[in-house]
Structure 1
Amino acid sequence: MSSSHCLGKNRDSRRDRVSIRRATVPDLANGSRETHLLFDAINVQDYDRVLDLLQSGVDPRISDKYGRTPLHVASTKMNAAIAKALIDHGANFNAEDSLGNTPLHLACISSRLAIVGILLRAGANLSSTKSHSTPLTIALSRLQSMMNEKRTIASPEIKAEIIELINLLKNRALQKNETSSISDLCKQLENLNSSIVMPAKKKTQDEQQSNTKKTLFLIRHGQSISNRDYDESSAYRDAGLTEQGISQARALHKELEELEIELAVVSPLTRALQTCQNALPPSYDGPIIVLPEIAEVCSSHYSCGQKRSVIQPKFPTRFDWSNVPMDDVWWWPYDQKHASETHDYQTKRMQKFRRFVQARSETRIAVFSHGDYLWEFLEGGRSYPANCQVITYKM
């Protein structure tokens, strides 16, 4: 069971169930047609349709008669990418409904771990008290329940995501002094953290070469021109970022600075390179290595690259291109084959990437890659990544 789906299966109170039901079925008798379409798209979790409506100018801050906004609804769903898109387009992540619930309340009540993380990183208030409980209290309760339900945290990757969320909760509570019982709550957080014991697993030959655990921060590129136009034809070959994509990347400065990254690895495709260039905080002075093994899974001209001699001069000299051949085709030869990258080809380059990571001395690594690649790398164990979403992964 993915942590993106739930934190636990506590029996919700009647009030909680009403909160979720109202958020799921908004009353928009006076709303515009476009507003109805936005809520409908969120309810069926159609990310592409949501993005299309937001880009066409539909206001994500509209509310129904209960005060529910599109973000309230999205916070009860499983698709974290939709919540991220709403926030990126100006949704109020601290909006309160008629019961005093914020989107963070509903994400905690619905046990949507990934969305809780997105809201916290956006700056959502942990101590909103108009509701019957603060988001922090609800999150602690859900996390505690998850500790008691061992089958929900059988995956080491899910454990790593939970630990990351626990630390995020603790840091936010300490920095903002958002609760009067800060010491008691932080103690609970510490107890929860220590109760998660990562199980020993049989090491592969590659893993035996290094006993150092690695933390990867997997980042999908910002919105590209092809994403915006829903077109992957040859006219969009190796397309770059839109203005919105660049803004999405720059919005990562603070988050990446707090993650204390030691190494950045980036795909040689333009949209990933531009994301890396704009997302890394000015304080970062570590290596930036361009690596073909993390390029997009190639199924169209859109994911065909350019030769190093053409693309390298467009980016800062501190980018290390030594792993990319100068004048050879480093990407899947879609032009010649007119067929998608084979599973065997994809598997081999992912294995090569894992060996690269294990051979490095750095332990905290930012990986600027692509949606399909990250989805396959995580074996479908997480929601499909949104543009510029940061996913924590332990190796």
Structure 2
Amino acid sequence: MPNKHPFDDQLRQAFQGFEPEVNAPWNALERELDGVKIAPEPSPVNAANRWAVAAAVAAGGALMWLGKPAVDELIVAATEVPSEMPAIQAEPIPWTDATDAASFESAWDQFTQETPAFSEDVLTTDLGDGDESSSMASADLSTEPVQSALESASPAEVAEVVEDGMPSLDVLLASLPFTASSSEACEGVEVSFELSGLDKSLSFLWNFGDGSFSNDPAPRHTFMTPGTYDITLSVRAPSDGVIRTRTIQNMITVLPKPQADFSWAFPEMVHSGKVRVKLQDQTPDATATQWVFEGESDKSQWIQLEVPGAYPVNLVASNKHGCLDDARHDIVVGDRHGLGALARFSPDGDGRYDTFLPPVLRETSDLWEMVISDAKGQEVYRTRSVDQPWDGMLPDGTAAGNRSKFHWTVRCQAEDGTGKLFTDEVRVER
């Protein structure tokens, strides 16, 4: 197989023209490929297919990210400074490096773990984003801290900074200028958040707007549902125990990815040890697709499989948003051993092996059809019933000759629509 650079011209053309501001789910696709079911005996085909899928994804990403800034930061301007509050002595919560969100109950318990009556004793400072409403929305959960709005600070107070250009803790608490790694992302893509001028002594509670929360100072969260999300950050300083909250409305837009899927069609009759299969793309709203088979990427919907074998086939699809999805199926083509079929039968009326029908077909719940063809590729018999096996008779009413060979092809379809094909030779012995 010739070596190809991952960013080959075919893939560049296939994914050309998608929006560059979107984060496509490269890591999610790779994890999906790592987690898919593989054959009991791994083969070089599986490894080659994984590389080719990665090449298809990477090529799409290269075109989508041309000219994109390294980080799309969203910094919130400061609007309010808290007044003096009763001090509550509290140790900072340990800073762990979790990668995603927790439930509200566990996050709130950690955020308010110092005293049983903490939610009754402290006041919550709400720092809104301009004219947009902002709150923790904790009232409709299990905890109801007392809500209190504080007077806004003057511009001079907000502008105070310490040496080296870093904001003082007072200014940091007043403005809560947190950022996101991207304002737009495809569903399934991880987004990271951080408070500018991070002070690890603070306690944190992030609300990602999708029912998930985190206590990490700089959390990473994966949004799994398309939509627009408000992000809320609440912090508590050990010096006074006051909760300060800020919400940025419509901070993250999550774009839908295509739902990649495909099926395939087998021929009715096979006359050799190779099967020509037609791939059928069933991805709705896809603007570009790429097939990956035996380590090669191609747009052709036809593949040829040698019997027997199980062949992994991948489809990489992209939509108008530049979001990607990957679908994989193993296409199975088997021989007589897969159905327990005999290599010969003797239709001589002695009651032993007088008819031909693979035994597994008598037990399966799958839909199936068997076609018998002669050496010239002409159909001589067709059945879909276990009560109608082939008895060796030809369409013209004559009996098949002794030691004559015929090809048989069985197409099976499971309840989930998955298709398999089995084909082999059978010899008549009288």
TM-score bracket, shorter-length normalisation:
under 0.3
Greater CA radius of gyration, 1 or 2?
2
TM-score, structure 1 as length reference? 0.21
Bigger share in strand: 2
Bigger share in helix: 1
Q: Which has the higher contact order (CA 8 A, sep 6+)?
A: 1
TM-score, structure 2 as length reference? 0.20
